[in-house]
Amino acid sequence: MRQEMTTASPRENGESETDGARPAGEPPSAPGAIPAFLPGRSSGKEERWTVLHVMSRQEKALVADLENRGLAVYLPLVRKTRYFGRRKATVEMPLFPGYVFFWGTLDQAYEADRTRRVANLIPVPDQGTLEQELRQIHRITAITDELDPCPLLTEGTCVEVISGPFKGLRGLVKERTRKNRLILQVSTVGLAVSLEIEGSLLEPLDR
């Protein structure tokens, strides 16, 4: 994932800067290996996926650290245009800020945790589903950078509007529409109103 900076230059913050557009179909250069999708990945009985919940803006540094230790990780990246003063730059940013996908044994995952760049380890009960999802992510990032992460929302999810004129409203997701929009149901003085709103503007709330 790519990291968004405001004042410092890309190189000062460890971001990659490019001058031209990526050729069609060419994936962005990821600092992490892609163990699920490359031949030769080790596949012992004890090896499995673990999601590393990473400290703020530490994704790339963690990946570099783990790779130097010979450990396998996957960090999906996309390219975004950012402005640093009057200068325009294309930087590689994490697609899912705060998360790195780790492949290895539990002991190796604990080794990653000891880098002090990891907030916690997230176990993956359904290994097959995660692997299929990562395959799809890898495939789509090789084709386009037009990806904007948004919360995974289902009907009945409690959410809050985090941006725009309706910021701060809370309610339930009523249903999804065809164009990836949501109907947000907000209870007001015992009544309900329906509001069509972009899913990217919503954030799930803990019940």
Q: Which CATH number characterizes residue 37's domain? A: 3.30.70
Establish if 148 belongs to a structural domain.
no
* Residue 152 within a domain: no
- Residue 3 within any structural domain of the chain: no
Residue 145 and residue 93: Cα distance in Å, rounded? Answer: 10
Same domain, 19 and 84: yes
Residues of the chain predicted below pLDDT 50: 1-26, 29, 33-36, 38-39, 178-180, 186-189
CATH classification at residue 188? 2.30.30.30
Residue 51 forms part of a structural domain: yes
| pTM as predicted | 0.67
Residue 186 placed within a domain:
yes
Count of CB atoms situated within 10 Å of the CB of 48: 18
Q: Is residue 184 part of a domain?
A: yes
What pLDDT shows up at residue 206?
72
User: What is the number of structural domains in the chain?
Assistant: 2
CA distance 27 to 7: 27
In terms of domains, do 101 and 186 share one? no
Tokens standing for residue 175:
């249903």
Element (H, E) at 80: strand 77-84
- What is the per-residue pLDDT for 33? 46
pLDDT for residue 31: 53
At residue 12, the 3 state secondary structure works out as helix
Residues 175 and 73: their CA atoms lie apart, in Å, by 36
40 lies in some domain: yes
18 with 116, same domain? yes
3-state helix, strand, coil in the chain (%, to 5): 20, 35, 45
Q: Residue 68 is part of which domain span?
A: 11-141
Measured in whole angstroms, how far is the alpha carbon of residue 143 from the centre of its chain? 17
Do 17 and 113 share a domain, yes or no?
yes
Domain identity same for 83 and 164: no
Of the candidates 77, 74, 55, 57, the residue with the CA atom closest to the CA atom of residue 66? 74
The per-residue DSSP string of 40-75 comes to: T----TT-EEEEEEEPTT-HHHHHHHHHHTT-EEE-
52 and 98 both lie in a single domain: yes
Q: Which two tokens mark 120? A: 């916690």
Same domain, 89 and 168: no
Q: Judge if 114 and 88 occupy the same domain.
A: yes
Both 29 and 102 in one domain: the answer is yes
Residue 29 counted as domain residue: yes
pLDDT at 197: 80
